[in-house]
Structure 1
Amino acid sequence: MIYWKLYLFLYSAHRNIIVMNKFALLFLLMIGVSSVFASDDTRKLYDELDALLLRRDEFCRAKEARIDSIKNLKDGVNGYSGLFGLYNDVFLEYYTYRSDSAFYYLSLAEKMAVRTSVEKYIDMCKINRSLLLATTGYFSQSLEVLNEIERDRLDPSLMFDYYSAYEWVYSVWSEYSADDTFAVDFRNKEMLYNDSILQVLEPTSKEFMYWSGELNARKGNQYEAQKFYEKALEGLRVDTRLYACVTCGLAFAYKKQGNMKDYEKFLIMSAISDITCPLKENLSMQELAMFLYQSPEPDLVRANKYINYSMEDAMFYNNRLRMLEIAKKFPPIVNTYQNKWIDKNRILVRSIYFISFLGGLLVLAMLYIFRQLKLLRAQRSIVTDMNMQLKELNSELLKTNRTREEYVSLFIELCAAYIDKLNKYQDLVKRKVKAKQVDDLLKIANSSKMSDSDARQFFVNFDTAFLTLYPNFVSEFNMLLREGEEIAPTKGEILNTELRIYALVRLGIKDSSRIATLLFYSPQTIYNYRTMVKNKARNREEFEEQVKKVCTIV
């Protein structure tokens, strides 16, 4: 809840700043101020980053489609081992994308690993759970899981992942810790496991070069770290996590050497990689925002935009550590941005008022009389047209009201007639019962001639009245059906049973039991008719709601 409220605050602030920024940009144009804050190459990288940010949803959809394609392989997988592999693959996709889903599929993989009784699978799940717990800020729980693994019997193919998990726990814990004493101990253990990672990697691999760069950077050998990072970067694809990690490490190596130009360049490259992968567990974007905010010529528009994107990613992933980091960085950026432009906006507003005043006087002096005469003629013409339309509408309304009144009276008379018939029928039944003329009573009850005649008369009255109110009902109703499935009354009919059912639906009577009573059918029969017609509809799910909207103009 705290993170959600924080996000709402940040989002609101961002909206306010966008409005202020528009005024500020207009002011800059008016006074002819321009500035160049980076080289051409850096500007191109920023343009590429901004363009990719507009396509974030596209990359996320592609990622989710790839994950769905893996999930869809489940039906073709046999055995617990196969299911373990599938669930583990889905977990790896979600690990840097969405923590909740990663936890879910990791749990499924753990169940399959236990069923296979394969120790390698069980240990692999423990390593993955440790990584995920550390990433989401549960450091001590992460270590507890790792400590359950017996290193002496660990499968050799998992040694890299095992040491990487320990390294990652202490890395993020030292980053999170505000206590210098604990942070130093965590960093020492971080370097210890970094060194262990190098012992199990192939010395010619990209991963070996990257982790060598990490170890040298942590020891303070920034130039050596730079060289290893550069070797690791050769030939890497931009849409890989290793590319994002290497470029981020390279950026910090340049920063610690005082080369802020290349620090900025490689931060942008790392942020580009985060978007294209896409990685929601990332660092580069918020670092870039802080760099733009703290640079000698700050770009506060981009800084504000990037810090907001970072917060969105952290909340999407549900990363407590990143949200806390961003929460500390966000207020200074927002406050500085507001303070920077508030005076310029005030000058801009005053300038606009002054220019508008002078322009208004000039225009009014030259065109006042001409414009007023022209406006009066135009307004007179508009009023005349509106009066004609109003008369036509009033006429249509009066006609509609008269029609409705006529049919309300008709239905009241019908109701009164049926009530009178019912009363007479009750009197007849009472007399027959008192006279013990049960046979005559049964003959009357079994006779359907009167009720059939009344029903036909009722249908004729109803059909005539309904089509008078809604003359286009049949044609508009058939537009909702598929081509070739239209329903039309037979010769001698005004409406048939299907059309009467949906005429009642149009009048707001939805319940099949009520419709059955009005049309002298059983509820099941009405239900069957409705189902049959729905099957002919273009949009079966929304068909009856669409029927209620036909003939909206009477």
Structure 2
Amino acid sequence: MKYLPTRILWLLFLPLGLLAQGTPASTLRTLNEAIAQAPRYDAVKRQRIQALQTTLARTPAAALQERFAVCGQLYDEYKVFNYDSAYRYARTLQTLAAQLQDPARVTFARIKLSFILLSSGMFKETYDSLSLVHIDDAPDSLRAEYYTLLARYYYDLADFDNDTYHTPGYTRLANRYVDSALQLYDAKSFQYAYFNGLKYIRSGNMDSALTSFQQIINNPMLSTHQYAVTASTLSDIYIQRGQVDTAISLLIEAAIADIKTSTKETAALFNLATLLYKKDDVKHAAAYIEQAIRDAMFYGARQRKVQMSAILPLIESEKVNRVESQQQMLFIYSAIVTFLLLVVVWLAVVIFRQFNKLKHAQRLITESATHQREINAKLEEANRIKEEYIGYFFNVNSVFFNKMERFKKSLDQKVNDRKLEEIRFLVNNINLKQEKEDLLRDFDKVFLKLFPNFVQDYNGLFEPADQVKLKDQELLNTDLRIFALIRMGIHDNEKIAQILEYSVNTINTYKTRIKNRSKVPNEAFEHHIMEIKAE
């Protein structure tokens, strides 16, 4: 559905007196309900497209005529729905027509490509494409479509230039192409009636145009899309005649019909927003212009975006002006009220602010208390760990010093008695490996006393097949000790390596291998370890 850009000017500068009457809320509500249902209509459209695409995928590559027919259907589905997809299938039609070496199909494909280029506002590309069409030997239906497309092209150029020099010439040329098309269309067809009425509009014969389009819109055989096109065009006539409420009702019906047919290349909603803006219904105007912009963006209509940029800033500016006007009225009213009311309002504001401050302070206190409880819990846990391990290491050191003292006394005695063989036996009898194992086992006991659920919580981070299975009499293994030390707050790999008597590379290898097996992301593994609670 093409929108004539010159309409923007006389829609925007239409006398306000013509727009005095209100728009029935029920009709706008019906349109709003249709807009809300648009995704459902679009879903039905996509289902049809998906079915055709499936048919095309199943059609053998050698079946050129069948593929051409399906691509033509896909083009028809997309031509007012999405420019990019319609353009792609128009190009595919050209390729298939060339392979079929069928001049009629070549012309058909070229006309379809030209239509979609013009719908997107690409005038130069449309002219280049139309100049390649050879229409002499084409069927009447293609010739008629070609002439109406040329008429649309020159009408759009006339609207785009909108001057006193080029526009009349373009309009005359377009009218001649309409005359050529009318000679080929069936006089009872929709195309004949529509383009005949359009010629009346362009020639300035509004009475004949009105009669023509009223006859068309009363035809019960119109498709939903044809009704939308007719209603939108008829609304232009009523606007020029000053019957704006009738035009608005027609545009609402056209917009609803466009929504039901998933037509995104449309001007009805945009024109409706423009008229509602002039009627000071900024709320609905803003909503409809935003929907029109979304449709234009989805379709890819370049000229639509330019047209909408002319009205959208005005609507947004009017919204701002209304807010400012309301603020001024509030200021005037506040100057009229009595002193007592001002005092009451002032007290209410003060109480409200104090209440908000109190709520804010209460929230801060609650957050601080929660944070403090967390800190206290962590400090309590740290103190328990510290107390346990200070006692543990004092006990270990005490036992170690007692052993060393006994060893020193025995060694001194042996040295004094010069019993070298017994000294060698005494030294060789020191089992450092066993001492280290005893030290680690004592560490395991103290750690599990603090974190009795550590092994269970640790295994919870792995799938059953990757969980740690300890041997008999084994409290912790190397994997568990590495992360036990981390839970104790020792995160430095070098310190962990010194405690466990491994190299730093070995510790890194252990940690990487363990994290890779876990269910949680590697970077979050140690965080989960630190979340294991002490008891």
What range is the shorter-chain TM-score in? 0.5 to 0.7
Identity of aligned residues (%): 21
Match in the other structure for 1:398? 379
Counterpart among 104, 119, 124 of residue 88 in structure 2: 104
Q: Which SS does the other structure have where 2:22 is aligned? A: coil
Which of 153, 169, 178 is equivalent to 2:162?
A: 178
| Residue 293 (structure 1) aligned with residue 293 (structure 2) | no
Note if contact 1:280-1:313 (Cα within 8 Å) is conserved in structure 2.
Answer: yes
Equivalent residue runs for 1:252-267 within 5 Å: 252-267=236-251
Partner-residue secondary structure (3-state), 2:289: helix
Q: Which residue of 1 aligns with 2:429?
A: none
Measure how far apart 1:250 and its partner are.
1.4
- Paired AA for residue 267 in structure 1: L
Matched, 1:205 2:210: no
Normalising to structure 1: TM-score of the pair? 0.63
Deviation at 1:247, TM superposition (A): 0.6
Q: Secondary structure at the match of 2:81?
A: coil
Maintained 8 Å contact 2:455/2:480: no
Asked if 2 retains the 8 angstrom alpha-carbon contact of 1:502 and 1:547, the reply is no
Q: In the alignment, is residue 74 of structure 1 matched against residue 56 of structure 2?
A: yes
1:235 aligns with 2:217: no
Counterparts of 1:260-339 in structure 2 under 5 Å?
Answer: 260-295=244-279, 298-339=280-321
Q: CA RMSD in A?
A: 5.2
Alignment of 1:81-480 (within 5 A): 81=64, 82-233=66-217, 234-235=219-220, 240-295=224-279, 298-348=280-330, 351=333, 361-362=343-344, 392-401=373-382, 473=457, 477=461
Q: Structure 1, unaligned stretches of length 5 or more?
A: 1-34, 410-449, 535-541
- Deviation, 1:283, is 1.5
Check the 8 A contact 1:131/1:169 in 2, yes or no: no
CA–CA distance in 2 between the matches of 1:69 and 1:407?
A: 72
Is the alpha carbon distance of 1:489 and 1:311 closer, same or farther for their aligned partners in structure 2, counting shifts above 3 Å? same
Aligned residues: 444
Distance in 2 between residues matched to 1:61 and 1:167, nearest whole Å:
34
Change (3 A) 1:291 1:68: same
One-letter amino acid matched to 1:320 = R
Letter of the 2:281 counterpart: D
In structure 2, the residue matched to 1:50 is 32
Deviations 1:39-58, CA, capped at 9 Å, x for gaps: 6xx43221112233344444
User: Is the 8 Å Cα contact of residues 483 and 529 (structure 2) preserved in structure 1?
Assistant: no
Distance apart, 1:266 and its partner CA = 0.7
2:250 and 2:314 map into 1 onto residues whose CA distance is 24
| Cα distance in structure 1, aligned partners of 2:108 and 2:341 | 75
The separation in 1 between residues aligned to 2:175 and 2:44, in whole angstroms, is 36
1:32 is aligned to: none
Q: 1:291 deviation in Å?
A: 1.8
SS in 2 for 1:152: coil
- Output the CA distance in 2 between the equivalents of 1:266 and 1:205: 22
Aligned mates of 2:51, 2:338 — CA distance in 1: 60
Contact 2:470 2:477 in 1 (8 A): no
Q: SS of the counterpart of 1:79?
A: coil
1:475 Cα shift? 7.3
Deviates more, 1:465-474 or 1:65-74: 465-474
For 1:498 and 1:59, the matched residues in 2 are separated by 59
Whether the 8 Å CA contact 1:476–1:551 is kept in 2: the answer is no
CA distance in 2, matches of 1:265, 1:259: 10
After TM superposition, give the deviation of residue 150 of structure 1 in Å: 1.7
- Give me the whole-angstrom Cα distance separating, in 2, the residues matched to 1:495 and 1:328: 75
